[in-house]
């Protein structure tokens, strides 16, 4: 199984800050890596797929990069609506797995 480790698990930031979340895979994988945003009481929402492709309708301040075993999600300038929990997911092999999540809170 491919284990995904997200870091940090928690980050406290201010509006306008740049945020980078890392997702490390336990073994090298192709670029079937996705990022999701989840707000309390809501279903997750896709942000990025195939490591770096922005889902339609997602603001350009979100970007994804990486390959092999290390992937990143960057929010260039955090907006109030971005405070949420973020998850990475690998769809390279079964079982599909998610990272443990990164909670982005207001400083």
Question: Cα 32 vs. chain centroid, distance in angstroms?
Answer: 13
**Number of residues in contact with another protein, rule: CB under 8 A?**
22
**C-beta of 45 vs 61, nearer to another protein:** 45
Question: Cα 24 vs. chain centroid, distance in angstroms?
Answer: 11
- Give CA–CA dist 10/98, Å, rounded: 16
- Give CA–CA dist 53/34, Å, rounded: 9
Site string for another protein, 43-82 (x = CB under 8 A): xxxx--xx----x---------------------------
Contacts of another protein in 1-40 (CB under 8 A): 32, 34, 36, 38
Q: How far is the CB of 46 from another protein (least distance, A)?
A: 5
């Amino acid at each position: 199984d491919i284990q995904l480790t997200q870091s940090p698990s928690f980050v406290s930031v201010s509006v306008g800050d740049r945020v980078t979340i890392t997702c490390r895979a336990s073994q090298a994988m192709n670029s079937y890596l996705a990022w999701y945003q989840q707000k309390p009481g809501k279903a997750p929402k896709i942000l990025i797929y195939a490591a770096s492709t922005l889902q339609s309708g997602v603001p350009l301040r979100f970007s994804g990069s990486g390959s092999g075993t290390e992937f990143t999600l960057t929010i260039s300038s955090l907006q109030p609506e971005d405070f949420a929990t973020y998850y990475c997911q690998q769809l390279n092999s079964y079982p599909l797995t998610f990272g443990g999540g990164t909670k982005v809170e207001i400083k």
